Structure 1
Amino acid sequence: MEREGEELAADYVIVGAGSAGCVLANRLTADGKSRVILLEAGGDDRPGKEPGQFTVNLNIHIPVGYASNLKDPRVNWLYRTEPDPETGGREHVWPRGKVLGGSSSINGLLYVRGQRADYDGWRQLGCEGWSADDVAPYFRRSEDRLGGEDAVHGAGGPLHVSDPTTKHPVSVAVIEACRQWGLTHRDINGPEQEGVDWFQLTVKDGRRWSAASAYLNPARKRPNLRIVTHAHAERIVIEGGRAAGVRFRCGGKQQMARARGEVIVCAGSIGSPQLLQLSGVGPSALLTQHGIDVAVDLRGVGENLQDHYVVGEQFRLRRGVPSINAQSRGMALGREILRYLVSRTGLLTLSAAHVAAFTRSREGLAAPDLQFHILPATLDGEALATRGAMELEREPGLTLAVCQLRPESRGWVRIRSASAEDYPAILANYLTDPLDRKTIVAGLKQGRAIAAQPALATLIERETIPGADAADDAALLHFARLAGATIYHPVGTCAMGHGRSAVVDPALRVHGIAGLRVVDASIMPRLTSGNTNAPTIMIAEKASDMILADRRRAAA
């Protein structure tokens, strides 16, 4: 191999400083003995550390800054899917974090664990050690709940979790409307998910509390941790059936990070399968097509892609009803900025949604299969369509956005060439399964039913999107095909399990290659019932214990 730059060495080489990578960097260096190299393709998340992008990095730490950073290529991979057959042949933009903290630095700050049945389902698929009771301690260990410890939540962990500091009056009305419709107001991260509640947020003292803030910053000064930013991994070097290190490019030079113990891939549900495929680990036909030597034929690498497809209904509020639309412009915005500077409260601390509701699309289901993200604001459709700008309308509005929690449709991620610089091809395959189409239509009907409850009916002037013309199931499905989008939860492309399509075993070790693990959302065999950041952090917490246990056994 050509060696242009410095060759590094450590016990563990971690690829990707996203949610999982930050957790592992902290936990694996805590003993002061294990040496870790953390490679991140993006830059530092701290405002003063990246010349030329002070503002974009500042936006990382202001909660509402996600609206800008979700489309900023300086901190965002901005992948684009292939034309999607069941959603009008559209290409979907998939934001993923490209900065320390990964997607936890640009996401909507929503903390949702999912249902017990999600993890018990993993166990039923053969993933020993991943039942709800097995993973619960890792959720608790990670969490620093503002309200303190209880039977479900943890306190004193690295990840600060809080309730909204500002509870908008329209969102209060939304919760009451959901109650009138029949939902219970309960902690959606408790034993039972079905119901309505304020979203819990990864926010501390009015600032985003990303995985970098929670886990990486406390570990930065440890002498056994080396963080390398702007380090784009090109391939895993495999020698004698073992992962020996990672070849990466940094500062225009090709370098090598050697692993005495393990290479741990934490590049996410797009980056992890891409890197494995580039390294000769994946479907043999795909690899040989691009001239890559096959190290191990794993047909599941890049397959089993799942994502939450969200469709938003918008309502015009009556004149005079308060809305975030009005707060986000002019003198009102100036007052909100001042309020944030003084008290770290108000508009700038808000997340991507205020209220979460979990419902069942039909009778007979054992658990909710729909999630609503609800916010007293509406996007300007013309600005989004013509300029890609996430701008709010001037008139007051309310959005009820619904997604199916456990879609049956499956997509894939596949390299286009042998170059790490080329983005992989991504096919989402949204709504290809008939059940998914039926479920999203049921969700849109439920959104209308919630909006019709007395608590909201007095505030709403009319439904603007899709509007009265979408009067039957066919019209609602047509709307869903053309208006839906990702809600940023791709998983499953390096699925955990034992079958022919599994990529990693329950210890997250890649089948057929020694010294190589994948630790991120890509290992989920099935999508969890809700937002995926909290489960990803849990996965890394549990993985850190498994990795350290293996190290102790090897040393004994």
Structure 2
Amino acid sequence: MSSQQHDIVVVGGGTAGCVLAARLTEDPGTRVLLLEAGSATLPEAVAYPPAWPSLAASEAGWGDTTVVQHASGAPVPLPRGKGLGGSSAINAMVFARGHHTSYADWSAHGAKGWTYDDLLPYFQRSETATSGAPGRGTDGPLTVGPAQRPNDILLACLDGAIETGHRRAVDISGGLEEGFAPVDLNVVAGRRQSAADAYLAPALDRPNLSVVTGATAHRLIFEGTRCVGVEYGVDGRTHTATAAGEVVLTAGTIGSATLLQRSGVGSEEDLRQAGVDVFHRLPGVGRNLHDHPRANLVHRALRPVPTPRNNHGEILGLLRSTPDADGPDVQIIFIDIPLPNAVAPVENGFTIGISPMRPVSRGSLRIGSADPYAAPVLDPRYFTAEEDVRAVLSGITTARRIARSDALAGWGIEEVSPGPGAVDEESLARHARRYFGSYCHPVGTCLMGEDEMSVVDSELRVRGLDNLRVADASVIPAIPSNNTNATVYAIAERAVDLLRRS
């Protein structure tokens, strides 16, 4: 067993880990070790925006699936990235903050200082927004902006949304608007820009940064209540990394919670069921797992749909499922390919995706054993809350009006799935529950707050333990109304400030 000492050990080289490694090593006196279970070299397809649907099943993904879901009677694939850049290297490259109202619930468990306005400087710090819209960043590592040439079918959908009475937003990515518009993407000069590209790559030559890939974290090491390091494995050999300062978990909603549990931190019931001795009782670890499910309306078109050249989903809308909602709670995204569906294959067409953006359904994550290489047990409990189904039904009504608009008439549109025979709420609800997929935005398993179910406090410190923080999507108490990657960048940017002040 070998051992190395650093000031800060960062566990997980995804979005948040890349941000922390790059920002913390701007101080030449801070020695940082970044551990990543995946590879430093990812498939060439990662860089090509239209190829992202194939990446979850490649070596750049973990291959996770949920347990059988009550709503659908089947397990659901839950993609997450494996390798430097993490999920920012395999996602659909949508970069949006979500509406500011969706951050109001972050204080429900007592978290202080995490409103949208509190996060705004960190959103801005992460980006250089090409739109030049007010409130956007101008000198961040990420260059973000709408697709330069959206697919014609998607532009027709946007015209249809405006025709049917929806607002044409100016900056749907900025957090202040509702309506429909082209969304910002992490695409630069026709290639994906991941967290590894934007943050980590420029920092790799710094002598105070060490990066170890192929490193699976086994457990955290404690002296009393103080976390002093991490035990990890590389190529069958066990190593120990010690931290003179802090250990920060950035392994994501799944990885950070499972590492805590394997280290004996969690609920007594979960740990004993997995055969792990209880080191520190923290019942919220692994609870509050939730995600955006997405139902799809798949359409056949008579007019040929142009070959995709961007990320497939270049235009989206944020809207309210009911007039009395306190903010937009449904996303509609136009997708320039016909996704696999419940009825029949479609060779030429497109998809309208509908997702409840503020889902009420909550599930859990737990380890099945102490084996660090075993997959966890994931149960998001999709659509167990009726409010989520009602939100999707509202979105389906809106999507169908758009599909019937004059703007799309020239494309020869026919809805294939669920199909024109599904008209009543019961059949549409049954379709949504049965034929949905994960939108790949799991959050919440290391809930941030100040109550007994919180895992980290308002400064991201693991409650009851010293020198240990979590700084990734797992700390999000309630999922915002966006594809979550932009929010993770902001959380990580703020974590840097918290660490510098400690």
Q: What range is the shorter-chain TM-score in?
A: over 0.9
SS at match of 2:9: strand
Which residue, 1, 10, 13 being the options, matches 1:14? 10
The answer to whether 1:84 aligns with 2:84 is no
Aligned counterparts of 1:62 and 1:131: Cα–Cα separation in 2: 35
**Following TM superposition, by how much is the alpha carbon of 1:380 offset from its aligned partner in structure 2, in angstroms?**
4.4
Offset at 1:192? 2.9
Matched, 1:451 2:403: yes
- Secondary structure, aligned partner of 1:80: coil
Residue 472 in structure 1 maps to residue 458 in structure 2 = no
Q: Which letter does structure 2 place at the counterpart of 1:59?
A: A
2:80 to 96, 102, 108: 96
Q: Distance in 2 between matches of 1:117 and 1:107?
A: 25
Aligned to 1:110, the other structure's residue is in SS state coil
The corresponding residue for 1:172 is 155
**Residue in structure 2 matched with residue 68 of structure 1 by the alignment:** 54
Deviations 1:131-171 (A, max 9, x none): 121110111111011234x4211112101102102222221
Mapping of 1:95-114 within 5 angstroms?
A: 95-114=79-98
Asked if 1 retains the 8 angstrom alpha-carbon contact of 2:284 and 2:455, the reply is yes
Structure 1 vs Structure 2: percent identity of aligned residues? 39
Q: Quote the Cα distance in structure 2 between the aligned partners of 1:188 and 1:521.
A: 22
Which of 250, 257, 282 is equivalent to 1:266? 250
Q: Specify which of 244, 253, 275 is matched with residue 228 of structure 2.
A: 244
Paired residue type of 1:235: R
Which one of the candidate residues 116, 131, 139 is aligned to 2:123? 139
* Aligned amino acid, residue 369 of structure 1: D
Match of 2:28 among 32, 35, 38: 32
Q: 1:153 aligned to 2:139?
A: no
Instruction: Give the equivalent residue in structure 2 for 1:359.
Output: 319
| Alpha-carbon distance in structure 2 between the residues aligned to 1:182 and 1:126 | 39
Residue in 2 that maps onto 1:58: 44
Instruction: Give how far 1:116 is off.
Output: 1.2
TM-aligned CA deviation for residue 366 of structure 1: 2.1
Number of aligned positions between the proteins: 501
What secondary structure sits across from 1:233 in the alignment?
A: strand
Q: Structure 1 stretch 172-181 or stretch 455-464: which is displaced more?
A: 455-464
Q: 2:402 is paired with a residue of what secondary structure?
A: helix
Alignment of 1:186-205 (within 5 A): 186=169, 187-205=171-189
Q: 3-state SS of the aligned residue for 2:401?
A: helix
Once the two structures are TM-superposed, the CA of residue 263 in structure 1 deviates from its matched residue by 0.6
CA 243–106 in structure 1, closer or farther in 2 if over 3 Å, else same = same
Question: Which of 330, 343, 355 in structure 2 is aligned with 1:370?
Answer: 330
Q: Any idea what SS the aligned residue of 2:162 has?
A: helix
Q: Residue in 2 aligned with 1:412?
A: 364
Instruction: Give 1:419-458 correspondences, 5 Å limit.
Output: 419-458=371-410
Shift of 1:96: 0.5
Contact 1:197 1:355 in 2 (8 A): yes
Unaligned runs of 5+ in 1: 46-55, 328-346, 386-391, 551-556
Report the 3-state secondary structure (helix = DSSP H, G, I; strand = E; otherwise coil) of the residue aligned with 1:234: strand
Q: 1:491-530 deviations in whole A, cap 9, x for unaligned?
A: 0000000111100001000001100000100000000101
Q: Which residue of 2 aligns with 1:288?
A: 272
Amino acid corresponding to residue 518 of structure 1 in structure 2: V
- Pick one of 435, 442, 447 that aligns with 1:483: 435
Per the TM alignment, residue 475 of structure 1 is displaced from its structure 2 partner at its CA by: 0.4
Alpha-carbon distance in 2 for matches of 1:522, 1:174? 34
Would you say the 8 A contact 2:336–2:350 is kept in 1? yes
Task: Select the structure that is richer in helix.
Answer: 1
CA distance in 1, matches of 2:153, 2:272: 56
Pick from 450, 462, 482: which aligns with 2:414?
462
Does the aligned pair in 2 maintain the 1:109–1:201 contact within 8 Å?
yes
Q: Which amino acid aligns with 2:79?
A: P
Q: Distance in 1 between matches of 2:77 and 2:411?
A: 34
CA contact (8 A) 1:193 1:368 kept: no
Q: Secondary structure at the match of 1:402?
A: strand
Structure 2 runs not aligned, ≥5 long: none
Q: 1:180 to 1:62 in 2, by over 3 A?
A: same
Q: CA deviation at 1:191?
A: 5.0
Deviation at 1:123, TM superposition (A): 3.6
What's the CA shift for 1:175? 1.0
Closer/same/farther in 2, CA of residues 525 and 138 from structure 1, 3 Å limit: same
Q: C-alpha displacement at 1:359, in angstroms?
A: 1.3
CA distance in 1, matches of 2:456, 2:487: 17
Whether contact under 8 Å (2:403, 2:413) holds in the other structure is: no
Once the two structures are TM-superposed, the CA of residue 479 in structure 1 deviates from its matched residue by 0.7
Contact map agreement 1:41 1:231 (CA 8 A) in 2: yes
One-letter code of the match for 2:401? Answer: A
